[in-house]
């Protein structure tokens, strides 16, 4: 399974756009990139998944360059409730296999 | 998305006792479930893969005799922490794999169980 590297923490303010970048230099051809969000004392929650280029859903966008060695999760206009830990995971399609979590990025959104 | 529940949500026990945690997939069948442990301010650590009708597969360093896993049905996996000690105090999270859906999110997480061993 490809190893991922993310910033340990980030700070932002309400209403700003937040971009969290994840490095995965050893990503395999059949690997997808998946992002999860976790609030304290809760299980992780799926945010978005992509393979290449750009994916957008109602909560976030995922940008993946052509070489796929990194990806960026973009959260538009964050609010205080977006304060959480965000995990980037790389592996074969759609969670069919075991998920190995890295350290994640602790995002703090301030008023 | 699909729902995964855990019971109990929190438990306090005395050192030396055993504790059972249940993980249920409420609206889908899960032939495979996963158990994670998470210490404060740390990431999730995969403990084992639970397979319906067969033995669980444990990650390196996880004692299979200490953490007993039973996956007797397509909707229920249990994790029993045997002879619990204070160092077993942690947040235990399960996830279940939906093998029937075509959705990208085919692994769903439970809300977690907080275990405190006194």
Contacts of A61 (CB under 8 A, 6+ apart): A48, A54, A55, A73, A74, A76
> Which residues of chain B have a CB within 8 Å of the CB of A100?
46
CA-to-CA distance for B47 and B59, rounded, in angstroms?
Answer: 5
Q: Bridge partners of B93?
A: B36
Asked whether the predicted pLDDT for residue B103 surpasses 60, the reply is no
Determine which of A20-29, A35-44, B9-18, B103-112 has the lowest per-residue pLDDT on average.
B103-112
Q: Is A35 on the interface with B (CB under 8 A)?
A: no
Tens digit of each residue's pLDDT (9 = 90 or more) over A11-33: 999 999 999 999 999 999 988 99
pLDDT of residue A96: 57
Average pLDDT over residues A83-103: 83
Q: Bridge partners of A63?
A: A54, A72
Average pLDDT over residues A67-81: 96
pLDDT of residue B54: 87
pLDDT of residue A22: 96
Tally Cβ neighbours within 10 Å of residue A78. 18
Tens digit of each residue's pLDDT (9 = 90 or more) over B22-78: 999 998 888 889 999 999 999 999 999 998 888 999 999 999 999 999 998 989 999
Asked whether the predicted pLDDT for residue A93 surpasses 70, the reply is no
Cβ-defined contact of A95 to B107 (cutoff 8 Å): yes
pLDDT of residue B72: 84
Domains of chain A: 9-110 (2.60.40.10)
Q: Is A58 on the interface with B (CB under 8 A)?
A: no
pLDDT over 70 for what percent of chain A? 95
For the record, the structure tokens of B15 come out as 């050192």
CA-to-CA distance for A61 and A74, rounded, in angstroms?
Answer: 5
Asked whether the predicted pLDDT for residue B13 surpasses 60, the reply is yes
pLDDT of residue B31: 86
Asked whether the predicted pLDDT for residue A95 surpasses 60, the reply is no
CB A107 within 8 A of CB A17: no
Chain A residue with minimum CA distance to B111: A43
User: Mean pLDDT of all residues in chain B?
Assistant: 91
Helix (H, G, I), strand (E, B) or coil at B24: strand
CA-to-CA distance for B118 and B17, rounded, in angstroms?
Answer: 10
Q: Is A111 on the interface with B (CB under 8 A)?
A: no
**Least Cα separation, residue B8 to chain A (angstroms):** 13
How many residues make up chain A in this entry? Answer: 111
Average pLDDT over residues A31-41: 93
Asked whether the predicted pLDDT for residue B99 surpasses 60, the reply is yes
Of the candidates A19, A1, A27, the residue with the CA atom closest to the CA atom of residue A62 = A19
Asked whether the predicted pLDDT for residue A94 surpasses 60, the reply is no
């Amino acid at each position: 399974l490809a190893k991922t590297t993310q910033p340990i923490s980030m700070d932002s303010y309400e209403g700003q756009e937040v971009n969290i970048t994840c490095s995965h230099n050893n990503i395999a051809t059949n690997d997808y990139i998946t992002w999860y969000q976790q609030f304290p004392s809760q299980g992780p929650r799926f945010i978005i998944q992509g393979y290449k280029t750009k994916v957008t859903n109602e909560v976030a966008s995922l940008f993946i360059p052509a070489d796929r060695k990194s990806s960026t999760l973009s959260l538009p206009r964050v609010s205080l409730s977006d304060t959480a830990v965000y995990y980037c995971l790389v592996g074969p399609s759609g969670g069919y296999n075991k998920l190995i979590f890295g350290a994640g990025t602790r995002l703090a959104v301030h008023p | 998305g699909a729902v995964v529940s855990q019971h109990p949500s929190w438990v306090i026990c005395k050192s030396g006792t055993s504790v059972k945690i249940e993980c249920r997939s409420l609206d889908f069948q899960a032939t495979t479930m996963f158990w994670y442990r998470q210490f404060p301010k740390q990431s999730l650590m995969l403990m084992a893969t639970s397979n319906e009708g067969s033995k669980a597969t444990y990650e390196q360093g996880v004692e299979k005799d200490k953490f007993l896993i039973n996956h007797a049905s397509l909707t229920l996996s249990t994790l029993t922490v045997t002879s619990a000690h204070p160092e077993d105090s942690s947040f235990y999270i399960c996830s279940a794999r939906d093998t029937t859906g075509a959705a990208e999110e085919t692994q769903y997480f439970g809300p977690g169980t907080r275990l405190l061993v006194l």
